[in-house]
Every structure is written in C-alpha cells, then in structure tokens.
Amino acid sequence: MSGGHTIRPLAGPEELKACVALQEETWGVGFSERVPPALLKVAQMLGGVAAGAWSADGTLDGFVFGMTGVRDGEVVHWSDMLAVRRGIRDQGVGTSLKAYQRQVLLERGVRRMFWTFDPLQARNAHINFTKLGIVVREYVHDMYGETDSPLHRGIGTDRFVALWLMDSERVAARLAGGERGPGRGEVRGVPVALGEAEVSPAGQEGAGAARSSGARAQGPPPTRGIPRPGAPVLGLSDARLRVAIPADVSRVMAASMDLAVAWRKATRSVLTHYLERGYEVRELVRGERTSDYLLEERSTP
C-alpha cells in the first residue's frame, strides 16, 4: 500500500485491458506504441514487470511496464512505460511505482535498470535525477524516429538513456528523501557549456510593455520572454560543467518551433560531445527560465 494505492502485478485479461485503456487515455486513442495485453503478459512470464497502482475502489490509476534481458553480458531491466492518471499526478504515485519495480528486480538479482526520456523535458528530468537518483551516460539522436505524440512532434525523439544503479547508496538516499541535489546558488560558479543567450535591455523593456498594455496579441505567439540558447562551448575540461535547457519546453514550442528546434540542436551538440569525452549527467538544477544539467567527469564504471 502506498499513498492510498495498492501496487501489485497486473493479473487477468480485464486488468491487462485496463492497462491498455490507461495508455490510450495518457497518450491518445490509437497511440501507435501502446503495449498490448499479450505482450504485457509475456513480459511478466519472462522476468519483466507489469504492475499497477490500484485505488481503494479498484480503479487502475497508474502502471509501470518493463522487460528484462541481457545488455553487455549483464542481466538488466529496461523500463519501457510509466503512466499516472491525470488528476492525481505529482502525488508520489509514479515514484511509488518505480520503488516497487526496483524492489522486485533487486530481489531477483537485477542491479541495473535503464529507460529513456527527452533531455528537453525538465519536469521528467527533475523526477529522474532528484527523486530517483539516476545518472546519464548515453545520448541517442532521434531514437524512435517520427512519433505521433504531440509532446515531441517537430523536435524529434532525441533521448537520454537513464541508468538506475538500483543498489547504490545514491539511489537509496534519493528514494528515502534524505538527499537532494544542489540548488542554483551552489552551482553558480560551475563553467557553462551551454547557457541562455543574452537578452538586450531594450528587449526586456519591450516585453514588459507588451505584458502591461492589456492589448491582446494578434498573429503568431510572441517570443519575447522565451529563453533562447546561447552558443555551445565545446572546449572545456573542468571537472563539472553546466548545460542549460528551457524550464518549460512546451511553452517554447507553443511560442516558436524554430526556437524549440534551436534548443534541440544546441543541447544535442553539447551533450553528445561531453558524454563522449567521459562526462556523465548527475543532476538537474531547476530555475525559472532555464534549468541546468550538471555534468561531472565519470569516476566509476
């Protein structure tokens, strides 16, 4: 039992169908990447996890699904999907599902879990780094090709590969809530590999005037006040580096797809460069306009 929900494996045809229905509620009816009941069941039989969070009245309010296999000679788990019903998000259900998944796999002797997420989605990154304690060592360009998800249409499907070292002290401490990443002030002196472009004072004044005039804007959404990426800096060799992303990429996409694509290209350039040079991403430090990834030189295999 967790937060009023019971977390347990999906069982029987009706519960498997309920999971498919929740997938479509989350990502749209006809979602092309939904996992059907048969695959949910087969994955369970082969050491995977397909579990749900059930409310007191028997409603499936969330689920987690992943497959177990071999990567680089080691038995690992790939967590493919996690969803929580709209209206009860940000209440810890997703974290509880991940904690359940981790417990099951550790009991089976599986130590490493992987999943993917969009590097431009700051909200997901905050959960993954701050609450779960992942690290990132891999960046994949356009991993899933074209997608019918409105979250990614127009900016591609670049992905971080999350590495969850499930038996590490870092992960245990983050899940227990006893450790959190650094605040913005703590990383202010860390060199910037990608930051927000400078905004001229005149541009700031113009944005303020537009907001205070009370006039309704006509035509395309304005881009004043929307963060723009600065120039990538690829020659740094410091032990720690910062890489900015928009605090809310959906807002950027609504204002200007050109700006959203610019952020994708800039972050792809910087992140792939430094990950290939032996850095790993360890934190997401949140801010109002932009948030910063904190990269560190890798010291562990």
The amino acid that residue 174 corresponds to is: R
Vertex 77 angle, CA 85 and 93, to 5°: 25
Sign of CA dihedral 92, 96, 97, 98: positive
**pLDDT at position 152:** 53
* Cβ atoms < 10 Å from Cβ of 156: 20
The token duo for 45 is 């039989």
The per-residue pLDDT for range 18-59, each reduced to its tens digit, is 999 999 999 888 888 899 999 999 999 999 999 999 999 999
Q: Does 213 have pLDDT greater than 80?
A: no
The per-residue pLDDT for range 90-134, each reduced to its tens digit, is 888 999 999 999 999 999 999 999 999 999 999 999 999 999 999
Instruction: Give the architecture-level CATH label for domain 6-176.
Output: 3-Layer(aba) Sandwich (3.40)
**pLDDT at position 147:** 59
Burial string for 124-141 (b: 16+ CB within 10 Å, else e) reads bbbbbbbbbbbbbebbee
The token duo for 147 is 């997608």
- pLDDT band (50, 70, 90) for residue 178: confident
**pLDDT at position 225:** 83
Tokens 């969850």 belong to residue: 164
Residues of the chain with CATH 3.40.630.30: 6-176
Is the separation of the CB atoms in 232 and 272 below 8 Å? no
Sign of CA dihedral 175, 178, 184, 188: negative
**pLDDT at position 179:** 80
Complete edge-to-edge strand list for the sheet that includes strand 279-285:
6-9, 49-54, 60-71, 74-84, 112-117, 159-165, 135-140, 279-285, 290-297, 240-246, 192-194
The amino acid that residue 263 corresponds to is: W
